[in-house]
Amino acid sequence: MYRKKIYGKSRIDKCPFCGKQAITKNSQGVSVCLTHKHAIMNDLKCACGEYLDIREGKYGYFFICMNCGPQSHTKVYALNEIKDISKKEHPIKDISKKEQPIKDTSKKEHPKAKETIITSDDPNYF
């Protein structure tokens, strides 16, 4: 059966750390969500035991093994556990932890000014 094409639905990248929709890229060139923008992936291994290099091509990022050749990220993620090895805390997660500024109550507030209504019949209008 024929399905109608919807713009933007053909390729949706997912964050390897949490599975949310990937919006940006980290320093390694991997598509990640905003919370993991500064995250770094651990060293990933191929099925043969060699370490993989991350490369970026025409259709997105992929991994290369010296013995086996290019491998898709879905196959590599199935073989490896993805962990964040960066020591930095993610800045977006820290927003909720920040303390709210304390209002200074020692200052005396001025009393509200008296509101005056001027009409066109009033001599102060002109």
Residue 76's CB: how many other CB atoms inside 10 A?
20
> Burial of 4 by CB count in 10 Å (0-12 exposed, 13-18 middle, 19+ buried)?
exposed
Instruction: List Cα–Cα distances, 52 to 27, 30, 42, 56, 85, in angstroms.
Output: 16, 14, 11, 13, 16
How far is 20 from 33, CA to CA, in rounded Å?
6
- Among left, alpha and beta (phi > 0; psi -120 to 50; other), residue 13 is beta
Closest by alpha carbon to 84, among 38, 23, 29, 31?
A: 38
Mean pLDDT, residues 51-55: 90
User: pLDDT tens digits for 92-112?
Assistant: 554 445 555 556 555 566 677
Q: What is the pLDDT of residues 14-45, one digit of tens each?
A: 888 888 999 998 888 888 899 888 888 888 89
* CA distance from start to end of the chain: 78
pLDDT at residue 64 greater than cutoff 70? yes
Three-state secondary-structure class, residue 25: strand
CB 49 within 8 A of CB 43: no
